[in-house]
């Protein structure tokens, strides 16, 4: 029997005691309020999930309960998506959302961050935060701003090139934490080797442009789990909205990486209770590691997490193509996120940095100089 699913936004309101108040004093300090989110990534194309480069698929061995017998293969080697890949994709998607919804109201809010010593913004409130790896060892990311909702929620490094108060390097920890996303089918049953070919014009030769690549087949379900720590309602919405609107992933994603992300269920509490490993293992035990239809995997996930006290947000009787778990976030909510939740967080971060700097040798001196130069209105603009 299926139960009536609850909408994500209504659930967040209901679980508000596990969300942080946007203006809560000392909001940067963890209180251990955790929202666990179980979701699936369904392959809709022929994605490449690899770690070692071309010709590789990331796999992890899972041992289902009760199958280990002497002389038999006890483990199932399933493809997996590593947490850093999911986090990187979530960040890119979140930045897309923030850029696409950037308007004059947000621009006015962005101007205020200058007062907090942040430098990667224009005098007119223009902003762009982007992922650009450091060019040399010991350097920090060249594009991240250190103050936008993506930096404050998913983590960033603040050095003197991001904030005038920072003399050393400070890390903002991610408040979104991830599990590995596991497939529930062994490698042999869900990977297809395809030959890619680049043919020249004029004279036909293939040479080194002929290569084989292992792809994940369409319909394979990866079980993922993330937890949000100490987020506000608007921050939670931005995370869930970004997650559910991911539609491509993996190597060569423009060609192969079509995926669907479905949020299955959510649980609020003061600790994390399940891992994607537990769920994947349960599904493998139920299906015997067979390549079954994605709906069957989703149903098994629902059975498992419902038993663990999760609120399920989908109707598991429906086909996956009709499941849409995108939680809406309005322009008004986004503007408030920039102007209140996130601004207050940055204020806390900068206050903390200032406290730390005073403790360092010469910190007091530096602070006086800082005040003087601020008095002259001399600020870096980038």
- Footprint on this chain of Zn ion (rule: CB under 5 A): 129, 145, 148, 151
CA atoms of 108 and 114, how far apart (whole Å): 11
What spatial distance separates the first Cα and last Cα of the chain, rounded to whole Å? Answer: 58
Which is nearer to Zn ion, 57 or 148 (by Cβ)? Answer: 148
Give me the least distance between CB of 28 and Zn ion, in Å please: 16
- φ, ψ (nearest 5 deg) of residue 36: -90, 140
Smaller CB distance to Zn ion: residue 148 or 181? 148
CB of 154 to Zn ion, least distance (A): 9
- The encoded tokens of residue 362 equal 């010469």
Write down the least CB distance from residue 237 to Zn ion, Å. Answer: 18
d(CA 133, CA 140): 7
d(CA 221, CA 95): 26
Instruction: Decide whether 148 or 176 has the Cβ nearer to Zn ion.
Output: 148
Other CB atoms within 10 Å distance of the CB of residue 208 = 7
Nearer to Zn ion, 148 or 280 (CB): 148
**Token pair 């297809």 in the structure block, residue:** 192
Q: Are 184 and 289 in contact (CB under 8 A)?
A: yes
CB of 155 to Zn ion, least distance (A): 10
Q: What contacts 177, CB < 8 A, 6 or more positions away?
A: 226, 227, 229
Q: Taking the C-alpha atoms of 196, 42, 246 and 7 in order, what is their torsion angle to the nearest 10 degrees?
A: 170
Nearest CB to Zn ion, comparing residues 121 and 298: 121
Nearer to Zn ion, 123 or 365 (CB): 123
Provide the 10 A C-beta neighbour count for residue 79.
26
CB of 298 to Zn ion, least distance (A): 34
Query: Residues 37, 311: contact at Cβ < 8 Å?
Result: no
> Minimal distance in Å, beta carbon 143 to Zn ion?
8
């Amino acid at each position: 029997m299926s139960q009536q699913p609850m909408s994500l936004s209504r659930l967040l309101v209901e679980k508000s005691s596990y969300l942080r108040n946007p203006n809560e004093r000392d909001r940067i300090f963890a209180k251990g309020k955790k929202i666990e989110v179980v979701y699936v990534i369904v392959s809709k194309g022929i994605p490449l999930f690899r770690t070692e480069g071309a010709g590789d698929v990331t796999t992890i061995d899972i041992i289902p309960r009760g199958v280990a017998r002497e002389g038999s293969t006890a483990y199932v080697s399933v493809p997996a998506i590593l947490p850093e890949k999911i986090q990187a994709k979530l960040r890119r998607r979140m930045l897309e959302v923030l850029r696409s919804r950037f308007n004059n109201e947000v621009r006015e809010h962005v101007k205020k961050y200058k007062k907090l010593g942040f430098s990667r913004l224009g005098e007119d409130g223009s902003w762009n935060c982007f992922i650009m790896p450091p060019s040399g060892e010991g350097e920090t990311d060249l594009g991240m701003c250190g103050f936008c909702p993506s930096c404050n929620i998913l983590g960033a490094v603040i050095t003197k090139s991001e904030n005038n108060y920072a003399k050393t390097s400070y890390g903002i920890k991610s408040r979104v934490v991830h599990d590995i996303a596991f497939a529930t089918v062994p490698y042999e049953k869900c990977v297809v080797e395809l030959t890619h070919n680049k043919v020249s014009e004029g004279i036909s030769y293939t040479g080194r442009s002929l290569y084989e690549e292992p792809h994940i087949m369409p319909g394979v379900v990866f079980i993922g789990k993330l937890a949000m720590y100490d987020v506000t309602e608007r921050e939670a919405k931005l995370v869930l909205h970004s997650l559910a609107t991911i539609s491509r992933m993996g190597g060569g994603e423009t060609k192969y990486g079509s995926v669907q992300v479905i949020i299955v269920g959510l649980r609020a509490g003061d600790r994390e209770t399940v891992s994607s490993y537990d769920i994947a293992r349960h599904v493998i035990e139920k299906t015997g590691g067979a390549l079954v239809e994605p709906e069957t995997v989703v149903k098994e996930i629902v059975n498992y997490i419902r038993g663990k006290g999760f609120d399920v947000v989908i109707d598991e009787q429906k086909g996956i193509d009709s499941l849409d778990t995108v939680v809406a976030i309005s322009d008004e909510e986004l503007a408030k996120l920039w102007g209140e939740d996130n601004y207050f967080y940055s204020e806390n971060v900068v206050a903390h940095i200032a406290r730390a700097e005073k403790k360092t040798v010469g910190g007091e001196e530096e602070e006086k100089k800082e005040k003087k130069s601020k008095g002259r209105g001399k600020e870096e603009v980038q």
